[in-house]
Amino acid sequence: MSHVSIVIGAQWGDEGKGKWIDILAKDAEYVARFQGGNNAGHTLYIDGKKIVLHQIPSGIFHEGQICALTAGVVINPEQMVSEIKEVTQFCEVTPKNLWLSARAHVITPWSIQLDQTNEKNTTTPIGTTKRGIGPTYSLKAQRSGLRMGNYIDTASRKQWIKRQIAESEEFKSFYNSHQDLWTQFEAAAEKVAPYVLDADAKLREAIQSEKRLLLEGAQGALLDIDHGTYPFVTSSSTAAGGALSSLGFSPKKIGNIYGVAKAYLTRVGEGPFPTELDDEDGKLLASKGHEFGATTGRPRRCGWLDIVALRYAVQVNGLDHLILNKFDILGGFKEVKLAVAYEHPTLGRIENFPWDIDTLNSCKPIYQSFEGWPEDIPISGSMSELPKQALTYIANIEELVGAKVSMVGTGVNRSDALYR
Ligand code: IMP
């Protein structure tokens, strides 16, 4: 029996993974983030207090656990320093319980600048979080990125900056005109240094010793650089497979794979969204679900649950368990819908998620409607306590996507959950 579990988002991010990672982390000894950077925002409520984590895994709140960021993550060091400070109000954060991979790449002021200007100057913006994520991964792929292990070493860091100045006039001019940003960036190195180590090797040792690990993804499967709605995606491997390459361990060691999906669907940023609603139902989902981005505050686009997309996510990630989150938001709707297929003007009925966004943009959802259920549903306990209309809705999802719904989210607190 394997002791390594993976949790990923099964939609376009913002599925509410933070809470579930927090719940599942209870049984883990190590919790590691495997991709993304501070583009993510995991909102948690600890004893009624709200906290938004951008980089540190949500497992940090469990005593005795070790949280790590593995090689495939990108790290904003200044933001890491302030996040550590914020989390310290709730629990201890030390190099004993927070490990940052020396291999992870660093988000520099230059990457943030590039992200902002790229988005401004293009005719087809992606709607990025402007946190410098894409340019940091680009530099990594170009073999000219800065890794955490080199960043915390003053000589290596200075050498990296020197090389960029020598190789790029744009970098040079940005560097010279924004000395304040670079001073702050360099000052953070000393503060994060105690947390930087070969976290990947230490986690592999833990796997070898059969310790319990939970590997957490950020964003969602439909934003995966390879399998998502390219180019309207993030720059890393958000799908479960990304955990393997980021930490570097044997696929044979993987046990349970959990996918978190909302009971409906949202998206922030640009890109296709066949079930997007531009009507009263869409507005109601947005207001009841408080659908604003945790990182950027942007309003999220809302729509009915897209079975074609979710089935694709189940397949791409090999999900063993589906967690249907924010189920309480659907209570009180007279009628709820599932998009069971798409209709395309020339291709006809489509049941498999298309690889290209032009096809996806021309798809209209084919809906199956379900009778709604009352606003009041049980908050905790067994899923079987749900009204029969809700159970019918869930049973249809399970059958259509080919995965079992093991847990249902009913509110923001740790205890607001129904189990099968
Ligand atoms: P980037 O990751 O900032 O480069 O943004 C690329 C795309 O991913 C944009 O559509 C963003 O809105 C989206 N994105 C990035 N992080 C998140 C997230 O945590 N939740 C939802 N969408 C995200």
d(CA 77, CA 27): 29
**Tokens for 241?**
């497979």
Q: Are 233 and 13 in contact (CB under 8 A)?
A: no
Distances 67 to 33, 58, 191, 205, 335 between C-alpha atoms, Å: 8, 8, 18, 15, 42
Give distance in angstroms: CA of 39 to centre of ligand 1: 6
Closest residue by CA, ligand 1 atom 8: 234
Give exposure, 294-314, as e/b (b: 16+ Cβ within 10 Å): bbbeeebbbbbbbbbbbbbbb
Closest residue by CA, ligand 1 atom 16: 39
d(CA 76, CA 60): 18
Which of 14, 76, 234 for a ligand 1 pocket mutation test, highest count of atoms within 8 Å of Cβ?
234
Q: Residue 134 CA: which ligand 1 atom is closest?
A: 4
User: Exposed/middle/buried for 31, CB within 10 Å: 0-12, 13-18, 19+?
Assistant: buried
pLDDT of residue 50: 83
126 lines ligand 1 (CB under 6 A): yes
Domains 105-192 and 261-419 share a fold: no
DSSP string, 96-153: TTEEEETTSEE--HHHHHHHHHHHHH-SS-----SSSHHHHHHHHHTT---BHHHHTS
CATH of domain 105-192: 1.10.300.10
219 lines ligand 1 (CB under 6 A): yes
Which of 222, 224, 237, 268 for a ligand 1 pocket mutation test, highest count of atoms within 8 Å of Cβ?
268
pLDDT of residue 110: 98
11 lines ligand 1 (CB under 6 A): no
The architecture (CATH level 2) of 261-419 comes to Alpha-Beta Complex (3.90)
Q: Which of 3, 22, 42, 281 is catalytic?
A: 42
Q: Are 265 and 15 in contact (CB under 8 A)?
A: no
Q: Are 214 and 7 in contact (CB under 8 A)?
A: yes
Task: Quote the DSSP letter at residue 369.
Answer: E
Give Dmax (Cα) for the chain. 67
Domain 4-102+196-258 sits in CATH 1.10.287.3510: no
Q: Are 60 and 44 in contact (CB under 8 A)?
A: no
Give distance in angstroms: CA of 237 to centre of ligand 1: 13
pLDDT of residue 43: 77
Give distance in angstroms: CA of 226 to centre of ligand 1: 15
Give distance in angstroms: CA of 401 to centre of ligand 1: 25
- Residue 42 designated active-site: yes
40 lines ligand 1 (CB under 6 A): yes
pLDDT of residue 96: 96
Closest residue by CA, ligand 1 atom 20: 13
Kindly tell me the sign of the dihedral angle through the C-alpha atoms of 97, 40, 322, 216.
negative
Closest residue by CA, ligand 1 atom 22: 13
Closest residue by CA, ligand 1 atom 19: 40
Q: Assign residue 15 a region (left: φ > 0; alpha: ψ between -120 and 50; beta: otherwise).
A: alpha
DSSP string, 346-367: TTEEE-S--SSHHHHHT-EEEE
294 lines ligand 1 (CB under 6 A): no
pLDDT of residue 7: 97
Which of 43, 115, 128, 295 for a ligand 1 pocket mutation test, highest count of atoms within 8 Å of Cβ?
128
Give distance in angstroms: CA of 234 to centre of ligand 1: 6
Distances 298 to 14, 269, 321 between C-alpha atoms, Å: 12, 8, 30
Q: Residue 268 CA: which ligand 1 atom is closest?
A: 12
Distances 368 to 7, 246, 354, 360, 371 between C-alpha atoms, Å: 29, 39, 20, 19, 10
Give distance in angstroms: CA of 244 to centre of ligand 1: 21
d(CA 8, CA 215): 9
One digit per residue, pLDDT tens: the chain, 420 residues? 579 999 999 999 999 998 898 889 888 999 999 999 999 888 777 777 888 899 999 888 888 999 999 999 999 999 999 999 999 988 999 999 999 999 999 999 999 999 999 999 999 999 999 999 999 999 999 999 999 999 999 999 999 999 999 999 999 999 999 999 999 999 999 999 999 999 999 999 999 999 999 999 999 999 999 999 999 999 999 999 999 999 999 999 999 999 999 999 999 989 999 999 999 999 999 999 999 877 778 889 999 999 999 999 999 999 999 999 999 999 999 999 999 999 999 999 999 999 999 999 999 999 999 999 999 999 999 999 999 999 999 999 999 999 999 999 999 888 899 999
d(CA 307, CA 293): 23
For residue 210, how many other CB atoms are within 10 A of its CB? 12
- Residue 14 designated active-site: yes
Per-domain boundaries in the chain: 4-102+196-258, 105-192, 261-419
pTM to 2 decimals? 0.95
